[in-house]
């Protein structure tokens, strides 16, 4: 890649692709054996693994210890059965939506794995999402963050910005996704739909001529005219129309953000109060973002983050 930008590249474990990529590679796929081999051989380049196969075939935990792992588990039973195979840290689990979502979240969190709802937030009703947010905010025994709520709350408390496009890894200047032939997409969904920016062998500057890139640029440029409600939205600084672009609506996101905003105000006020008396309860210590590989570029251990 010759445009001077440093990107995280998501690639299947194919030698002809990994060989030509700079460090900063996320391996993805369902073939545990192929991923294990690639992790052993290209360990210096790999920063993460998105594992999409059955957990019984996940690469050995000791190989995954040094990278961020994202799981796409089928359900609770699969997680419980294979828990002993998983690394003990830096694991995030995408939770499928459905009626059992809340129970799944509680179970995943109790296994000390970080549940993540960002990808399917708008498939969940606002009521269902708020149940999870309130559990995250008020369940004192919770030992791990629930994402994306923890990253959002952390930034709100610290009055720092957070870019939803970046959190979702949807920005071709920073994240790209390859298929086995070297075609480049903006996301796994785009790869599946064969919506390509170009190929990894082309100059990234040429990707800007692709229909996908032009669609994205057009959406962003025309947002004030096509979605004026976004500019008036109190959460524009954070979302910048991402949910409209990806899902067409944002009822759940706005409900979640409002709940987290209120919580951040309460936390802020309590911190001020306790700062006056010189002692801050541990529960009010909300540190900078926890979300590994996105909001947490230093790859700090997500389990070490206070909730
Ligand atoms: S939350 Fe909704 S209205 Fe607000 S910026 Fe995002 S898509 Fe637009």
pTM: 0.85
Ligand 1 centroid from CA 281, angstroms? 34
In the chain, pLDDT over 70 holds for what percent of residues?
Answer: 88
Closest CA to 35 of 10, 8, 5, 7: 10
Structure tokens at 82: 């294979």
* Probe target for ligand 1 pocket from 242, 246, 260, with the most ligand atoms within 8 Å of CB: 242
pLDDT digits (tens, 9 = 90+) for 52-64: 999 999 999 999 9
What is residue 253's three-state secondary structure? helix
pLDDT confidence of 1, banded at 50, 70, 90?
low
Predicted pLDDT at 285: 57
**For residue 189, how far is the Cα from the chain centroid?**
15
- Please state the rounded mean pLDDT for residues 159-165: 88
Strands 8-11 and 175-178: parallel
- Please state the rounded mean pLDDT for residues 84-103: 86
Ligand 1 centroid from CA 168, angstroms? 15
Predicted pLDDT at 307: 28
> Higher pLDDT residue, 132 or 157?
132
* Probe target for ligand 1 pocket from 243, 248, 258, with the most ligand atoms within 8 Å of CB: 243
Let me know: does 27 contact 47? Beta carbons within 8 Å. Answer: no
pLDDT confidence of 282, banded at 50, 70, 90?
low
* Alpha-carbon dihedral sign for residues 77, 78, 83, 89: negative
What is the CB < 6 Å shell around ligand 1?
229-230, 233, 235-236, 239, 241, 243-244, 250, 253-254
Predicted pLDDT at 303: 28
Ligand 1 centroid from CA 243, angstroms? 6
Ligand 1 centroid from CA 171, angstroms? 17
Let me know: does 157 contact 287? Beta carbons within 8 Å. Answer: no
Structure tokens at 272: 């001020």
H or E stretch covering 182: none
Beta bridge partners of 260: none
Structure tokens at 212: 């996908």
User: 249: exposed, middle or buried (C-beta count within 10 Å: 0-12, 13-18, 19+)?
Assistant: exposed
Let me know: does 302 contact 296? Beta carbons within 8 Å. Answer: yes
Predicted pLDDT at 151: 92
Give the DSSP per-residue string, 25-52. EEEEES-HHHHHHHHHHTTTTEEEEEE-
Predicted pLDDT at 301: 33
pLDDT digits (tens, 9 = 90+) for 223-270: 999 999 999 999 999 999 999 998 888 999 999 999 999 999 988 888
Nearest CA to ligand 1 atom 2: 250
Structure tokens at 217: 């640029």
Average pLDDT of every residue of the chain = 87
Let me know: does 114 contact 91? Beta carbons within 8 Å. Answer: yes
- Please state the rounded mean pLDDT for residues 32-45: 95
Let me know: does 208 contact 219? Beta carbons within 8 Å. Answer: no
Structure tokens at 270: 């309590």
């Amino acid at each position: 890649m010759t445009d001077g930008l440093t990107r995280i590249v998501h690639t299947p474990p194919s030698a002809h692709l990994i060989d030509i990529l700079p460090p900063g590679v996320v391996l993805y796929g369902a073939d545990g054996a192929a991923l294990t081999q690639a992790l052993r051989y290209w360990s210096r380049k790999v920063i993460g693994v998105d594992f999409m196969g059955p957990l019984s075939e996940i690469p050995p935990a000791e190989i995954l210890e040094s990278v961020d792992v994202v799981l796409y588990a089928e359900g609770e039973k699969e997680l419980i059965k294979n828990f002993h195979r998983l690394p003990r840290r830096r694991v995030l689990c995408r939770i499928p939506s459905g009626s059992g979502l809340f129970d799944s979240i509680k179970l995943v969190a109790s296994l000390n794995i970080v549940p993540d709802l960002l990808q399917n937030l708008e498939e969940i009703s606002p009521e269902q999402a708020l149940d999870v947010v309130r559990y995250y905010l008020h369940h004192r025994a919770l030992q791990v963050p629930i994402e994306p709520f923890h990253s959002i709350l952390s930034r709100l408390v610290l009055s720092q910005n957070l870019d939803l496009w970046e959190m979702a890894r949807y920005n071709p200047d920073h994240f790209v996704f390859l298929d086995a032939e070297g075609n480049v997409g903006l996301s796994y969904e785009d790869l599946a739909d064969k919506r390509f920016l170009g190929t990894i062998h082309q100059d990234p500057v040429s990707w800007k001529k692709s229909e996908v890139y032009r669609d994205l640029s057009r959406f962003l440029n025309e947002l004030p005219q096509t979605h004026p409600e976004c500019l008036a939205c109190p959460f524009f600084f954070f979302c910048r129309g991402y949910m409209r672009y990806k899902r067409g609506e944002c009822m759940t996101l706005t409900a979640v953000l409002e709940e987290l905003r209120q919580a951040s105000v309460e936390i802020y006020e309590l911190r001020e109060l306790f700062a006056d008396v010189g002692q801050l309860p541990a529960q009010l210590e909300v540190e900078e973002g926890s979300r590994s590989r996105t909001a947490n570029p230093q790859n700090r251990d997500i389990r070490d983050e206070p909730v």
